[in-house]
């Protein structure tokens, strides 16, 4: 059986996130759309495995996924046929043969997310669907000071929506860059993995620091206490994009 690796981009605005949901919830997800098209193309029941589960309304420029199939279609043909039948807000950038044991989630070494905050006198009309308009976020240096305290290996439970779990909530953030651009801030998060809502809560916390509502050192209190209520607001989903996933 072949193992096919996909590189995918999508506008998550109208989807219920990446993960296929149960019958009780909405099920217009990126995963379900991909599986429906692939199952029809291959005449098989296809299970698509993603590198991570982006939330409802979150976008991806470099999502990686894989699936197993017995089809004799070439990778180029699979890519082209998927792009023919998928909606216009989901695109397959690349399809290629992967090693039999390749797993898009388990083999990922790091992920990069970018959150965009609009800060101009009004939201840019061309980017308004892909940014969080927060013009009160002005002190970039304090945000960078706090970001340095968040880098490294920590228990990020307080910066997540995780409630009770037997799994580790320790993650390593390798870098947080805050790039100031005209009418926009770009917050770049590079880490070995991220908890549920973690990037959006980190962004909301850094935004409150940039607005003078919290001190940079307050992030250390959240890390020590593991108390979600001590962190900032959760930034809305539309500003977040999974930029890339790195493998060996």
Which residues are the active-site residues?
Answer: 55
Provide the b/e sequence for 223-237 (b: ≥16 CB within 10 Å). Answer: beebebebbbebbbb
Rounded Cα gap, residues 119 and 133, in angstroms: 6
Interacting residues of 227 by C-beta distance below 8 A, sequence separation 6+: 158
List % helix, strand, coil for the chain (3-state, nearest 5). Answer: 25, 30, 45
Q: Are 63 and 18 in contact (CB under 8 A)?
A: yes
Interacting residues of 47 by C-beta distance below 8 A, sequence separation 6+: 35, 67, 68
Q: Are 235 and 137 in contact (CB under 8 A)?
A: no
Rounded Cα gap, residues 156 and 45, in angstroms: 37
Residue showing tokens 């979150």: 58
Q: Which of 73, 1, 86, 52 is nearest to 244 (CA)?
A: 52
């Amino acid at each position: 059986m072949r193992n096919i690796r996909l590189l995918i981009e999508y506008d998550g605005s109208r989807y219920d996130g990446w993960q296929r949901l149960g019958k009780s919830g909405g099920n217009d997800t990126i995963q379900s759309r991909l599986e429906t098209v692939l199952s029809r193309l291959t005449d098989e029941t296809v299970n698509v495995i993603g590198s991570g589960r982006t939330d409802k309304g979150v976008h991806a420029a470099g999502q990686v996924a894989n699936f197993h199939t017995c089809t004799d279609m070439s990778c180029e043909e699979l890519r082209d046929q998927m792009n023919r039948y998928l909606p216009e807000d989901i695109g397959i950038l690349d399809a290629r043969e992967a090693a039999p044991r390749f797993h898009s989630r388990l083999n990922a070494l790091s992920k990069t997310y970018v959150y965009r905050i609009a800060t101009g006198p009004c939201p840019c009309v061309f980017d308004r669907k892909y940014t969080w308009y927060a013009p009160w976020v002005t002190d970039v240096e304090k945000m960078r000071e706090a970001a340095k305290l968040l880098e490294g290996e920590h228990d990020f439970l307080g910066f997540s929506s995780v409630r009770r779990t037997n799994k580790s909530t320790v993650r390593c953030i390798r870098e947080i860059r805050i790039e100031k651009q005209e009418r926009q801030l770009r917050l770049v998060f590079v880490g070995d993995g991220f908890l549920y809502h973690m990037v959006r809560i980190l962004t909301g916390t850094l935004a409150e620091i940039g607005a003078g509502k919290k001190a940079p050192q307050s992030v250390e209190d959240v890390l020590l206490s593991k108390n979600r209520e001590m962190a900032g607001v959760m930034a809305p989903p539309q500003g977040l994009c999974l930029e890339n996933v790195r493998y060996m």
